[in-house]
């Protein structure tokens, strides 16, 4: 498992004891995934037969000026992981993003919809997807997700909770629409479907929590559930300019993963409630 100190990696670590697998959790200090020989050595020493790749360069705005490092981690490292997985018959689960789309759609994106990233981050993640599909290690999949949050790491939910304690009001974007993803839900899904992934070609799946909302809606509900006395005001994207462009519409259609693996996906409010309990913000 790569990226073990990130949100997904931390949630997988929390769930590990519930599953009958021997886990090896790695981060940048214990395994350099940009060094192919390091990957090979680690896999041979530990006799790895499944890789869950949660490592990524996710600093969306910084990626605009750091394209090389973003591409190295989000694309070139995936090429190495894919090549080694194919050679050694390793099952590879790779986490990708809604940022591979431009956000100009009018209905939830399915896996076969045309991609058109409008940021360096999105472009490098798409390059990682494509190289994985080109090399095509058997029994490997790509899972695209969006708006990930967790009780671990830095994310929108924890930022809102902090600012809710510090400020009387906040302006939050209301014209970007999508679905949040509680990292624990996705981590559990990955571990649940792992034995049933039997694919001749690399398949792409979409996963987020159920429901549709804006960042404004999300922030309002966080404050409401956590009983924070902070007024949330709606603002438009143009009123909060960022270096990198974000998709205005990034709803992902999850029918494929639900049907093929017979899973149920929690509603976003229920998952937010669970995360707030873990964070001690709710009883």
CA angle 104, 106, 109 (to 5 degrees): 85
DSSP-derived letter for residue 100 is G
- Structure tokens, 278: 């873990």
C-alpha to C-alpha distances, 270 to 21, 182, 216, 225, nearest whole angstrom: 28, 10, 18, 11
Q: Is 10 helix (H, G, I), strand (E, B) or coil?
A: helix
The residues annotated as belonging to the active site are 121
Do 178 and 146 form a contact (C-beta atoms < 8 A)? yes
- Structure tokens, 152: 């671990």
**Cβ neighbours around 45 below 10 Å, total:** 9
**What are the two backbone dihedrals, phi and then psi, of residue 49, each rounded to the nearest 5 degrees?**
-125, -5
């Amino acid at each position: 498992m790569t990226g073990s100190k990130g949100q997904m990696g931390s949630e997988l670590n929390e769930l590990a004891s519930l599953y009958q697998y021997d886990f090896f959790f790695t981060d940048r200090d214990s395994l350099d995934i940009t060094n192919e020989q390091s990957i090979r050595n680690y896999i041979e020493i530990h006799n790895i037969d499944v890789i869950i790749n949660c490592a990524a360069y996710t600093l969306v705005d910084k990626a605009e000026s750091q394209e090389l490092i973003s591409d190295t981690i989000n694309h070139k490292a995936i090429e190495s992981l894919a090549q080694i997985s194919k050679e050694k018959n390793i099952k590879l689960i790779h986490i990708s993003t809604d940022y591979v789309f431009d956000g100009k759609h009018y209905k939830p994106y399915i896996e076969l919809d045309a991609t058109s990233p409008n940021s360096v981050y999105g472009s490098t993640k798409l390059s990682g997807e494509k190289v994985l599909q080109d090399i095509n290690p058997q029994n490997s999949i790509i899972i695209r997700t969006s708006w990930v949050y967790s009780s671990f790491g830095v994310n929108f939910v924890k930022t809102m909770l902090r600012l809710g304690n510090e400020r009387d009001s906040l302006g939050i974007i209301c014209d970007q629409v999508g679905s949040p993803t509680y990292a624990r839900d996705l981590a559990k899904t990955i571990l649940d479907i792992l034995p049933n992934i039997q694919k001749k070609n690399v398949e792409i799946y979409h996963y987020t929590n159920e429901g549709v909302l804006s960042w404004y809606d999300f922030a309002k509900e966080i404050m409401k559930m956590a009983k924070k006395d902070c007024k949330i005001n709606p603002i438009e994207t143009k009123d909060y300019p960022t270096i990198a462009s974000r998709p205005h519409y990034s709803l992902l259609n999850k029918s494929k993963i639900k049907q093929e693996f017979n899973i149920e996906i929690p509603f976003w409010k229920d998952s937010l409630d669970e995360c707030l309990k873990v964070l001690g913000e709710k009883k």
